[in-house]
Every structure is written in C-alpha cells, then in structure tokens.
Amino acid sequence: MSAQPVAQKRRSPAQIVSEWWQAWTGFNPAYSDLSCCAQEEVDRIAYDIGVSASELRKLATLGPNAADQLLARMEELGVHPDVVERAEPSTFHDMQRACSLCDSHKRCEQDLANHSTGRAWEHYCANASTLKVLRTMPWPGRRDQ
C-alpha cells in the first residue's frame, strides 16, 4: 500500500478549468479560447464554477499554475492555504481567481523570489486586504502563535 503525499498542491480555478478544457479538447491549444463552444455552454460552465463567462474565457487561456503566487504569498505570511481552503473554501477560490487574473504576476514573482520583507506587495496585490485579515486570524497550526 503506497502512502499518500503529505502536502498536495492546491488547484486554482484556472487550473481546474485548464485541466478540464485540455482533457475535453485533447490538449489542443488551438481551442484554448473556448471558441468551439456555444455561448450557452460557456455561460453554463462559468455559472457552474462561479465566474463570469468573460472570466472563464480568460481563465481558459491561463496555465495551470496561474495562482501559484497566492500560495507562496500565503506561506510567506504564515497562513496555511490548506487550512484556509477547508475553513473558507469560497474565500480561497475567490482569492485564487483574483490571483489568476492579476496583471502583477511578474512583480509578485520577483518579490517572492527575493523574499522581500517589505509591504510593497500590499499596493499591487488584489488579495492584499483579504490576506491581511487572514493573517490576523487564529488559524489552527499558525506558525507565529
């Protein structure tokens, strides 16, 4: 009997859509814009995962790692993504969606790579206010408690 991995990577809404879409289209990047679907089908899929049709179209073009910076930022702040996902799944998925659609990925990636201890990320991060609140909450397993 094989052991399950201790820490499984969380999948963002972009990754879920991307994986579903790639499986459905046979990994053909030519279909990444959902152009082969009728608008009603796009609307239904978007409704099912809780995003707008335009967000779904954008998420479908993103790679599966579109929200990795969020997970890294949460870890850097001492907020465990798996705990937040279990306790507040809708908040966690909204944060993943916001991170996936963010225009500041390069800046965030650079800050994270440099282990920047400053608070510059708070000025460009779409999840800054939520992350600040989550950081103050008494989550089980918090490193700084």
Question: Would you state the structure tokens that stand for residue 32, as one six-digit string?
Answer: 């990444």
Tokens of 118: 């400053």
42 and 91 part of one domain: no
pLDDT in tens, 72-102: 999 988 899 999 999 999 899 899 989 998 9
Supply 108's token pair: 């965030």
The count of domains in the chain is 2
Same domain, 21 and 55: yes
Q: With respect to residue 6, please indicate whether it lies within any of the assigned structural domains.
A: no
* pTM for the predicted model, two decimal places: 0.66
Domain that holds residue 38: 13-61
Q: What is the tens place of the pLDDT at every residue in 32-54?
A: 567 777 888 888 888 887 888 88
Looking up tokens 């708070």 gives 122
